[in-house]
Homo-oligomer: A and B are copies of this chain.
Amino acid sequence: MMEKRDELDGPVLYHLDDSCGLEDVEEGHAYSGYVNGTADYGVFVSLNDSVSGLIHESNLASSLEVGEDTKVRVEEIRDDGNLSLTPVHMHDYEEVYIGEDGGEDGGEERRTPIGEVVEGDDVVLEGEALSVRQTSGPTVFTVADGTGTVDCAAFVGAGERAYPEAEDGDAVRVTGEVETRNGELQVETDELEVLEGEDEGEVRDRLSEALDDRAEPPELEPLVDSEILHDLYPRLRRLAFGVRRAVLKDRPVVVRHHADADGMASGVAVERAVFSLLDEVADDPEAQYHRFNRMPSRAPFYEMEDVTRDLNYALKDVERHGHPKPIVLMLDNGSTGEDGDAYRTLDAYDIPVYVVDHHSPDDEIEPLVEEHVNPYLEDGDYSITSGMLCVELARLIEPSVEDELLHVPAVAGKGDYSEASEMDKYVELAREHGYGEEHVEDIADALDYESYQLKYDDGRHLINHILDVEENEAHDELVPHLKTLAEEAFEKQMDSARRHVDDVSTPNGATLCTLDVEKYTHKFTFPGPGKTTGRIHDEKVDEHDGNVVTVGHGPDFCVIRAEGVGINIPEIVDELQDEVDGAGVDGGGHLVVGSINFVQGKREEVLEALYTKIAQAPLKEE
């Protein structure tokens, strides 16, 4: 199946196609490759999908960027199969294609990869016509074959449409001569043929493979040493691949994330990476407005109202602007059973969903999502926050954004009070890059406060300035100001709330603290009932030295936080549904942090039943 040619007279650059293996490589030969990762000690270069090696940093004269095409010489094929490479600079060389698609066999022999066309050559190109436009002179077909893109000008008369049978999206074979026009290569077309059947199939396959190659994320290690992150990395890589592939295919990316500091950090990290990738690959200079949409979700799951909105707008873009259908990313959100209805709605349109979440996941969503990254899936828990994961993801989508995001995992962790060992490392990483722990915490508080004020808007630059991922001198004044406002707002709520908390000792030796948040807090203002109850809880845990369950209740809901008491909120919800008839109980969350909804008229019964369960729950072992 493999073929190799005898050495030619002049210098030769070999291209390995993806069917080649190590056995097709010869020491001393020069190969075409691309950079797919960097390390302290050098740069990894892939010769095809499966064959790659290292240029040691001692051999690197200039820096190479991930994704860059390059030429290398194979100095040594080591016993362990690793290749030792050096950069090579070649001019006036011949090119030889090795593997299934290469060689000079039959009619195939004349096809020139677009990436290889040179001025003056007579070429036969095969590719997809990305667009067809009629100028006042020739008709111009923009053709891509996975190695490159080139304009092919066909002239039959001024302003007259050449090859009217060929439309954009068609697979075509173009015969012509390569010329330079306005500094760009262009093919003066002698003949253009629309391909069908097997020939078309080959064009599509080559494009798809080339796309897969380009979509491959770089080889990176997590920013901090962590077993869980290590175990989650294959998932993150697959998710990054999906995002990169979508972007390369011009598919819009819709991001939904939780509207708090961890969620915002998650969304921004991914946004920065996608924008950087779009800058590189998108033709449309406004692509970051047209091909990306990030929105905070108010609810802790993907509400039908939200998915309806997203779908509605996506379909309008499809029909009005010719956009492809989007992919959806759920960040710091999306792993619970309540998300299933939305995912099934998207599925009717074959819109894939990718989830990065650190909330306790429900098995039932697994078949509905394309990829799911969640510490719980690898024996971790919510202390590895979504923001941490999304910064790792962002690097895999586009490694160049790493520098501006190094402090973001620590901000995300502070936002969610992470006590993971990884948190300490991320805090240390932030400190190394100039963000002390207090600064990081202030950013988290400011972000949390401003998320509330923004409601449904992404707040793009404002949030970037708070998070300091987009340089602006406002950061220095903005963060302490917003942090102060947040604290004052908390103090105001706490001042009236604190006095109306009832503390009851329960038979299990714990303390049950309850507060009517409807009656004793200001409504429709920051902090809302959840955050206020959380703060009450923290104070009560201090006051009673642990073993506290706090319930903030309104007319048709309650918010629960527990410490040192082994409650299981999802289980309690199930039990209450059975025990309190006609109360319309639902809700959920984590084991010890969650909320329950019910109909207003059954509030007393539901709360009473809830309190009884809490009073009977076992204390946790220290």
From residue 581 to 614 of chain A, which have CB atoms closer than 8 A to chain B? 581-584, 586, 597, 599-602
Chain B residues within 8 Å of A315, by CB: 460-462, 465
1/0 contact trace for A432-457 toward B, CB 8 Å? 00000000000000000010011101
Q: Residue A495 at the B interface, CB < 8 A?
A: yes
> What residues on B are CB-neighbors of A521 within 8 Å?
584, 599
What are 20 sample pairs from A and B whose C-beta atoms fall under 8 A apart?
A289-B320, A308-B453, A308-B454, A312-B457, A312-B459, A312-B462, A315-B465, A319-B460, A344-B481, A349-B474, A492-B584, A492-B586, A493-B584, A496-B599, A499-B582, A519-B600, A520-B584, A521-B584, A522-B584, A522-B599
**Complex: chain B residue closest to A470, CB-CB:** B319
Q: A498-B582, A599-B519, A600-B518 are in contact. Are A348 and B485 (CB under 8 A)?
A: no
Other than the given A344-B481, A348-B478, 20 more pairs (CB < 8 A) read A305-B455, A308-B454, A309-B453, A312-B459, A312-B461, A315-B460, A315-B462, A347-B477, A348-B474, A348-B477, A492-B584, A496-B582, A496-B584, A497-B582, A500-B601, A518-B600, A519-B600, A520-B582, A520-B584, A522-B584
Taking CB atoms, residues of chain B closer than 8 Å to A460 are: 312, 315-316, 319
- What residues on B are CB-neighbors of A162 within 8 Å? none
- Whether A345 and B308, one on each chain, are in contact in the complex, defined by CB atoms closer than 8 angstroms, is no
Would A308 and B496 be within 8 Å (CB), given that A478-B345, A520-B599, A600-B518 are in contact? no
| A522 to B519 alpha-carbon distance, docked (Å) | 20
C-alpha spacing A102/B481, complex, angstroms: 48
> Is A319 a contact partner of B453 (Cβ separation < 8 A)?
no
Closest 9 CB pairs of A and B: A519-B601, A499-B582, A496-B584, A348-B477, A308-B453, A315-B461, A348-B478, A348-B474, A496-B582
Rounded to whole angstroms, the CA-CA distance of A348 and B311 in the bound complex is: 37
Task: Please determine whether A450 and B308 come into contact, CB atoms closer than 8 angstroms.
Answer: yes
By a CB distance below 8 angstroms, the chain B residues around A311 are 462
Within 8 A of B (CB), among A274-317: 289, 304-305, 308-309, 311-312, 315-316
A88 on interface, CB distance cutoff 8 Å: no
Q: Mark A120-137, 1 if CB is under 8 A from B, else 0.
A: 000000000000000000
A600 CB contacts on chain B under 8 angstroms? 518-520, 523
| Interface pair A319/B495, CB less than 8 Å apart | no
Tell me, in angstroms, the Cα distance from A493 to B312 when the chains sit together: 26
Residue of B nearest to A597 (CB): B522
Q: Does A210 interact with chain B (Cβ within 8 Å)?
A: no
Rounded to whole angstroms, the CA-CA distance of A227 and B480 in the bound complex is 44
**Complex CA distance for A349 and B477, rounded to whole angstroms:** 9
Interface string of A488-520 (1 = CB under 8 A from B): 000011011111100000000000000010111
Cα distance, A217 to B197, chains bound together (Å): 48
- Shortest distance between the CB of A158 and any CB in chain B (Å): 11
Interface check A341, CB cutoff 8 A: yes
A402 sits at the interface (CB 8 A): no
Q: A309–B496 contact, CB under 8 A?
A: no
Is A318 engaged at the interface, CB distance under 8 Å to the other chain? yes
The answer, yes or no, to whether A556 is at the interface (CB within 8 Å) is yes
Contact: A461 with B318, CB < 8 Å? yes
Residues of B within 8 A of A556 (CB): 522-523
- Check A304–B453 contact: CB distance below 8 A: yes
Rounded to whole angstroms, the CA-CA distance of A482 and B583 in the bound complex is 25
For A493, what are the chain B residues with a Cβ–Cβ distance below 8 Å?
Answer: 584
Query: In the complex, what distance in Å separates the CA atom of A305 from the CA atom of B318?
Result: 32
Partner of A316 from the list B304, B461, B482 (CB cut-off 8 Å) is B461
- Taking a contact as CB atoms closer than 8 A, the residue among B305, B462, B518, B583 that contacts A496 in the complex is B583
Q: Which single member of B289, B345, B499, B601 contacts A520 (CB below 8 Å)?
A: B601
